Structure 1
Amino acid sequence: MNYKDSGVDIEKGDLFVERISKMVKSTYNQQVKSGIGGFCALYAMDEERFLASSTDGVGTKIKLAVELGVHDTIGIDLVAMCVNDLICSGARPMFFLDYFASSKLDLKVSEAVIKGIVDGCLQSQMALIGGETAEMPGMYQEGDYDLAGFSVGEVMKSSLVDGSRIQNGDTLIGIASSGFHSNGFSLVRKILEKNNCNPDLKRACLTPTKIYVKTIMSLLKTHFTHVKGIANITGSGFLNIPRMNENFDYHVTEAPELPLFMKEVCDLSGLSTKELHKTFNMGVGMVVATDAPDTVIAELEKLGERAFFLGHITKGKGEYHFNPKGSTTGHNS
């Protein structure tokens, strides 16, 4: 079983983005710095400042939350999925909006979901300034709901992290994830179902997506010149790393230790290393490109993160290579 077998076709999703790109870009004006394809969009407000924006959902992790009746952490996931993209540009999150849709409003469930969103916004030092609640009988099955989030931040042009300073020989540093975050859950759920996994393992898979706002903001404040690029390891796993700058190749030579519940699910999957790394984050929540790895790792550890050497960068054409130490063969993206 792979991600496509579980109902998600990444290649078709990439093709869709490629096909709509020209249409979308027809709406751009001279204020648009970056849009489709980046971790977040940048819009110039004046000569000195960009507004940064990102939007995302939680995906089918919600189905697991509904099954287990655990709704007070899924809102953290929603905020995290948005702001972890936003901060890849160096932007400081400012405010958040949410969209909550269901067949019929359940006050207990919806209040628990919003509690999680508030928690995520507090972790991100961001204001929850608005949202929309929609009841759509016939659109959703009873008990189901869906979420979307929208975050906005700002970054001074002099403080922008856009990958343009990456050079041949720079180092990749990984920051540990809290688990699967909110990606690949169509496959996670299939694995759990196929192996008749116990509720404790299922609950562990609901561990909220880690929010890296305070960590990245602190790192940039003290070591901006050494941070060349930042990648959120979100949907499509390690294939996100080349999004920092596609004029380089990215060589991952280390395989960090996974949270125990994540390792158990990955072992049960029977999937190849290649398939796992292009679906899940494999214990790596964020990747930082730097020319001072020891300094950056020390600072991240001081900030309470588990950080580690992950690999290196060479001149190339935007490819990702995985070849852990001791391995004689690797794979390309």
Structure 2
Amino acid sequence: MKTSCTANTELVRCIAASNRPSEHKPYFSKRFLCKPEFLCFSDKLRLLSTGGNVARTKRIVKQSSIISNSNRNGDGEGLTYKDAGVDIDAGSELVRRISKMVSGIGGFGGLYPLGDSYLVAGTDGVGTKLKLAFETGIHETIGIDLVAMSVNDIVTSGAKPLFFLDYFATSHLDVDLAEKVIKGIVDGCRQSDCALLGGETAEMPDFYADGEYDLSGFAVGIVKKDAVIDGKNIVAGDVLIGLPSSGVHSNGFSLVRRVLARSGLSLKDQLPGEPITLGEALIAPTVIYVKQVLDIINEGGVKGIAHITGGGFTENIPRVFPKGLGAAIYKGSWEVPPIFKWIQEAGKIEDAEMRRTFNMGIGMVLVVSPEASVKILGKGNGRNLAYRIGEVISGEGVSYR
């Protein structure tokens, strides 16, 4: 493998000023991370991150009909997920094998005991939203998406993010482009009040197309054991509070790109009825909910939190409920962003498919007591807008009223 050490050095120089440690953001050196206690911690995180991928794999498998269903309007034969390159049987087999090796799979973040607290870890990427960054040339915000996908997951346990690490891989390191991406990561860390601890820049000739790159990262947070939000105390009658999204966030872009191709429009075309282009609407960065959610938790009464990512409402909300409970969602209780209406109309996608693929304008759902809901909704204004979108009911699954 040929790697440009000079380019890597230049990239580190470019971002160093944005990543100074402070009294609020402790700095951990690589030498410190190599101590025995951190090596054990790293091994555990590897297992936890594998577990997170299992849960995500299950959601992907369950979404296997999305692409083929979107073809039912007669525009050629319906594709299967396997036709698109995803082998569902292989995915199911992988889930089965990993489940034998690792227990406790299924949460939004993995918990590791540390004294009277838990370290909470999450890992993710931004998926094929990267394709839009390549096509639009907008790279300044994709790093925010990367941070958001992990910190939004771990805050569902009530954890405050401590630090984030990223992985940036490309065939040939373009320092100017990489700096734009990593500045977005720095911005995401600032928004979530966590430290960018470090990362890895990999230059792998011939592995990626020219001008393209891949991103992944993980975050670690901390929460007191007696303050963990785990959904165990949720009961029928509790209220579902929805926090608005900025749009598609970072899930469902394989379907979005199929819809875009079918529509005959380009990313430079105007979103019908709106003063922005399709590209601008789709590339809007994922909302980082950390500060808002932690503020709400401090008010009391929060029993469960679901990050609405791949799987939409259908798959994510039930993950925080005890067995025997489900969700009733009030249709029309929040404003669905125009981009989702366009996706559904242009792709002729059924309501059920939309709800299990996209966030539909709600990026985070909090399950709270009725008393707490009054305070939360009373303070909802501006960027901290919140909606009462439903309630917990007896039964299982998600229904709509």
Task: Select the residue among 336, 356, 359 that pairs with 1:278.
Answer: 356
Q: What's the CA shift string for 1:159-205, capped at 9, x where partnerless?
A: 11000110122111111111000000011111112212241212210
Within 5 Å, which residues of 2 pair with 1:1-333? 2-3=66-67, 5=79, 7=84, 16-25=94-103, 35-46=104-115, 48-198=116-266, 199=268, 200-223=277-300, 226-238=301-313, 239-247=315-323, 248-255=325-332, 256-292=334-370, 293-299=373-379, 301-302=380-381, 304-316=383-395, 319-324=396-401
Q: Distance in 2 between matches of 1:97 and 1:290?
A: 32
CA contact (8 A) 2:231 2:322 kept: no
After TM superposition, give the deviation of residue 298 of structure 1 in Å. 1.9
Q: CA RMSD in A?
A: 2.0
Deviates more, 1:61-70 or 1:252-261: 252-261
Cα pair distance change 1:210/1:109, threshold 3 Å: same
Q: CA deviation at 1:305?
A: 2.1
Separation of aligned partners in 2, 1:235 and 1:3: 14
Q: Does the 8 A contact of 1:215 with 1:303 survive in 2?
A: no
Summarize the Cα distance change of 1:78–1:162 in structure 2 as closer, same or farther, 3 Å threshold: same
Long gaps (5+) in structure 1: 26-34, 325-333
Greater alpha carbon shift after TM alignment, 93-102 vs 164-173: 164-173
Q: Percent identity?
A: 48
Please give the TM-score of this superposition, normalised by the length of structure 1: 0.87
How far apart, CA to CA, are the structure 2 residues paired with 1:41 and 1:127?
Answer: 19
The answer to whether the Cα contact below 8 Å between 1:192 and 1:202 also exists between their aligned partners in 2 is no
Secondary structure of 1:80's counterpart equals helix
Moved more, 203-212 or 257-266: 257-266
- Could you say which structure has the larger radius of gyration? 2
Question: Hey, what's the Cα distance between the residues in 2 that align with 1:115 and 1:8?
Answer: 33
Distance 1:90 1:43 in 2: 14
SS of 2:207 mapped into structure 1? coil
Greater helix share, structure number: 2
Aligned length: 309
The whole-number CA distance in structure 1 between the counterparts of 2:394 and 2:343 is 35
- Residues of 1 paired with 2:252 and 2:85: CA distance? 9
SS at match of 2:148: helix
Distance 1:298 1:241, change over 3 A: same
Q: 1:311 Cα deviation (Å)?
A: 1.4
Q: Which has the larger displacement, 81-90 or 101-110?
A: 101-110
Q: Is the 8 A contact 1:88 1:229 kept in 2?
A: yes
Gaps of 5+ in 2: 1-64, 69-78, 269-276
